[in-house]
Amino acid sequence: MILKSISVDCVIFGFDNQSLKVLLSRQNPEVILNQINQQESWEEVKHLFENHPSFSNNPSWNVIGAHIPSTTDLDAFAREIVENATGMNDVYLQQFHCFGQVNRVPNHRVITIGYYALINPTHHLIRKSVAVKALEWFDPTALPPLAFDHAEIVQKALESLRQEVQYRPIGFHLLPEQFTLTEFQSLYEVILGKKMDTRNFRKKIANMNLLIDTGEKQKNVSHRAAKLYRFDMDVYEQLKREGLKFRIE
């Protein structure tokens, strides 16, 4: 059974070395429904999804989401939604807010639980499955018209990400496995919306011991090749346990 009053919306963020992007959809309800929830009675699900922002037939864009089946855990369902849209299932997912105004969706009382996801779009190509009518990256500060309260949802996701990124070293989830310090800094500049001093930034990062020099370098760049680093998961886990004295601002 699908729970009619509850949906999950996933604000999927990506970073392409220049800017932060958010993935929005215009979808084909019939196809994706078959796929997500084969055990459901078609009519019931169709009704629900047609009335849900993510599957509505109107021309506006939507945050990617769906109504949750009664047999799926909340976190697991968010993961399912992201995997369905992108083909990736090892993404960083964070529940950030539950939206519950009575009139956020016309004609239906739908409470939606918002998650944001961090993925690296350049290294994992988005799977444009048959289910997807349209799936595109947008600049979160210049969104197209969005369905219902989805602009608010993206806004709040962005705020939560900005908050979180300052105190937890989660930014690397938006980067490929190997990255340069400049990319790392640029990530923070883009998310926080301000320029930082290169030397000071590098000093701070170095003190945290979160990055490992891979010994490799960029190739085929028309300038001095930058060193490539990767994230040290052990230090990351340790920092998380110790209350993490990670701070970037």
Residues at the contact surface with DNA, assessed by CB under 7 A: 180-182, 197-200, 202-204, 217, 219-227, 247, 249
Q: How far is the CB of 81 from its own copies (least distance, A)?
A: 13
Collapse the DSSP code of 190 into the 3-class scheme (helix H, G, I; strand E, B; otherwise coil) and give the result. Answer: helix
97 is a site residue for its own copies (CB under 8 A): yes
3-state secondary structure of 192: helix
Shortest gap between Cβ of 199 and DNA (angstroms)?
3
One-letter-per-residue 3-state SS of 50-113: HCCHHHCCCCCEEEEEEEEECCCCHHHHHHHHHHHHHCCCCCEEEEEEEECCCCCCCCCCCEEE
| Residue 162, both tokens | 């900005």
Give least dist CB 229 to DNA, A: 9
Q: Does 75 engage in binding with its own copies (CB under 8 A)? A: yes
Q: Is 160 strand, coil or helix?
A: helix
Binds its own copies by CB under 8 A, chosen from 20, 24, 36, 68? 68
Task: Count CA atoms closer than 13 A to 168's CA, side-chain side.
Answer: 14
What are the φ and ψ backbone dihedral angles of 110, each rounded to 5 degrees?
-120, 120
Residue 225 touches which of its own copies, DNA, none (CB < 5 to 8 A by kind)?
A: DNA
User: Does 66 engage in binding with its own copies (CB under 8 A)?
Assistant: no
**Least separation in angstroms between CB 101 and its own copies:** 5
Can you tell me which of 18, 38, 59, 102 binds its own copies, judged by CB under 8 A? Answer: 102
Does position 208 bind its own copies by CB under 8 A?
no
Q: Which is nearer to its own copies, 73 or 90 (CB)?
A: 73
Instruction: Provide, rounded to whole angstroms, the least separation between the CB of residue 210 and DNA.
Output: 14
Nearer CB in complex with DNA: 49/184 = 184
**Among 39, 70, 200, 207, which residue interacts with its own copies (rule: CB under 8 A)?**
70
Number of residues located near its own copies, criterion CB under 8 A: 21
CA distance 49 to 30: 9
Residues whose CB is less than 8 angstroms from the CB of residue 242 and which lie 6 or more positions away in sequence, other chains included? none
Residue 13 to residue 11: CA distance in whole angstroms:
6
